[in-house]
């Protein structure tokens, strides 16, 4: 077991350092580790079977639908209307543009379910506007990177669907409900940092808009925001499943972008669908490869060994949970969210449940940890996109990110040690 685990870890990270795609790195590392226990033919057949079996889940059908709906909304002028709505409501407050940035990322992330999409759509508009208003470009980029990750918690979220599969059957609808309060808490914490930063720096206040203009901007954004009500309301009400909700989201996004807002031409749809297919293929290959690795870990009893080792570190459950959080933050800084969820859920979930944490609470804690990693160097995809939009270097936005990291970490600790934040809404709705 020790040799298999060592080969798995060493080969995996060696391939990552060589810039081999992560799905290929996982697959090759798994194959080489399996060759320690069996011949080439049974090893390759076993990996193929596990990869196919990992994709044999009805719940995974929701992912391509939500990916496609997110891409349509990203091109459909929805981000612009959400920004204008947020600007009308809170733009005149101290740090108004930074607050608008956070709220817009929260709303667009919730609608699209993608941190990368939120970064591109909101950042492309907000970063130039914040620069014009006198905000430091590095601070603006840091705010966008941190705020974009809130869409991982606020449903519909693809990564919550992946966790539901990895955990062995947690209700997707319950997970969606569990993500609302923590996601909003992260957004509010980031807004508090932005407010304080703006007061210290003395950024100018934007003029207050007349109530008629505010009402108009809010009215224009309602059709976009209604998608959340449609999808989540239908799931909670038992009208349709999360997978069916994804299909309905695609239809609604098409109507909104093509017919209502008229921002997407019909001849642009094939390109959008091709991009959705490419993104889905990448995600599915990650899931398939990670499933094979997870099976190997279980076959070698590595999760049980690590779980027992963690439980022997201390008798204090608070300390063990803190250690798990720190490990997950480090993992999130180096590993993509999808394989991280699939690989580390079977390792840490048994420990968390033994310490009295529910599967819902652990899932939200896991996703928030990995969300922090998503905007952390050296691998965080959101960071590189933000730096490209802001035309700045990665090292320049680390310092303004530090107070935002601190705010997210405080929320993480609250979620870790107080189950109410994750479970209040699911309990109230009968999940």
Condensed to tens digits (0 to 9), the pLDDT of residues 59-79 reads: 788 888 888 887 887 777 777
Q: What is the mean pLDDT of the chain?
A: 84
Residue-level pLDDT at 407: 94
Residue-level pLDDT at 137: 86
Q: Which helix (H) or strand (E) holds 36?
A: none
300 compared with 349, residue with greater pLDDT: 349
At a CB cut-off of 8 Å and minimum separation 6, what does 242 contact? Answer: 59, 62, 156, 161, 172, 173, 176, 235
Residue-level pLDDT at 190: 93
Based on the structure, what is the number of domains in the chain? 1
Is the pLDDT score of 118 beyond 80?
Answer: no
Distance CA 83, CA 299 (A): 49
317 compared with 37, residue with greater pLDDT: 317
Distance CA 249, CA 251 (A): 6
Residue-level pLDDT at 392: 81
Residue 282 exposed, middle or buried by CB count within 10 Å (0-12, 13-18, 19+): middle
Residue-level pLDDT at 425: 87
At a CB cut-off of 8 Å and minimum separation 6, what does 156 contact? Answer: 62, 66, 110, 113, 176, 231, 232, 242, 245, 246, 249
Residue-level pLDDT at 413: 95
| Mean pLDDT value across residues 113-136 | 79
Residue with tokens 């109230």: 428
Residue-level pLDDT at 1: 53
Distance CA 425, CA 110 (A): 17
Task: pLDDT band for 2, please (50, 70, 90 cuts).
Answer: low
Residue-level pLDDT at 415: 94
Other beta carbons less than 10 A from residue 337's beta carbon: 25
Residue 210 DSSP label? P
Q: Is the pTM of this model over 0.75?
A: yes
Q: 325-373, pLDDT tens digit by residue?
A: 988 888 888 777 888 888 888 888 888 888 889 999 999 999 999 988 8
Q: What range defines the domain where residue 101 resides? A: 2-428
């Amino acid at each position: 077991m020790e040799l298999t685990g060592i080969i798995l870890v060493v080969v995996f990270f060696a391939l990552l350092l060589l810039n081999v795609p992560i799905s290929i790195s996982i697959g090759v590392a798994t194959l080489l580790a399996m060759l320690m226990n069996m011949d080439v033919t049974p090893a390759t057949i076993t990996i193929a079977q596990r990869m196919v079996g990992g994709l044999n889940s009805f719940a995974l059908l929701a992912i391509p639908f939500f990916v496609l709906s997110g891409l349509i909304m990203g091109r459909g002028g929805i981000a612009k209307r959400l920004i204008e709505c947020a600007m009308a409501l809170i733009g005149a407050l101290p740090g108004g543009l930074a607050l608008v940035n956070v709220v817009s990322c929260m709303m667009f992330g919730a609608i699209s379910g993608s941190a990368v999409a939120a970064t591109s759509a909101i950042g492309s508009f907000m970063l130039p506007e914040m620069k014009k208003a006198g905000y430091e470009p590095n601070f603006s980029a840091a705010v966008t990177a941190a705020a974009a990750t809130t869409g991982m918690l606020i449903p519909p979220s693809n990564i919550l669907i992946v966790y539901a599969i990895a955990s062995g059957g947690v209700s997707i609808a319950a997970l969606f409900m569990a993500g609302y309060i923590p996601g909003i808490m992260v957004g509010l914490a980031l807004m508090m940092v932005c407010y304080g930063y703006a007061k210290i720096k003395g950024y100018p206040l934007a003029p207050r808009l007349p109530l008629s203009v505010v009402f108009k901007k809010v009215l224009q954004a309602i059709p976009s925001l209604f998608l959340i009500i449609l999808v989540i309301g239908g799931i909670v009400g038992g009208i349709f499943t999360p997978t069916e909700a994804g299909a309905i989201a695609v239809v609604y996004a098409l109507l909104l972008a093509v017919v209502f807002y008229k921002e997407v031409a019909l001849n642009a749809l094939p390109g959008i669908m091709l991009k959705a297919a490419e993104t889905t293929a990448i995600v599915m290959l990650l899931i398939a490869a990670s499933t094979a690795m997870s099976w190997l870990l279980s076959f070698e009893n590595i999760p049980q060994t690590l779980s027992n080792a963690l439980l022997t570190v201390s008798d204090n459950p608070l300390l063990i949970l803190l250690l798990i959080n720190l490990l997950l933050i480090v993992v999130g800084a180096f590993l993509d969210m999808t394989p991280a969820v699939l690989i580390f859920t079977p390792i840490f979930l048994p420990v968390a449940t033994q310490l009295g944490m529910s599967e819902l609470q652990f899932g939200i804690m896991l996703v928030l940890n990995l969300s922090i990693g998503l905007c952390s160097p050296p691998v965080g995809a959101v960071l590189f996109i933000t730096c490209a939009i802001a035309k700045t270097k990665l090292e320049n936005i680390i310092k303004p990110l530090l107070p935002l990291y601190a705010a997210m970490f405080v929320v993480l600790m609250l979620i870790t040690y107080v189950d109410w934040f994750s479970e209040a809404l699911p309990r109230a709705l009968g999940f």
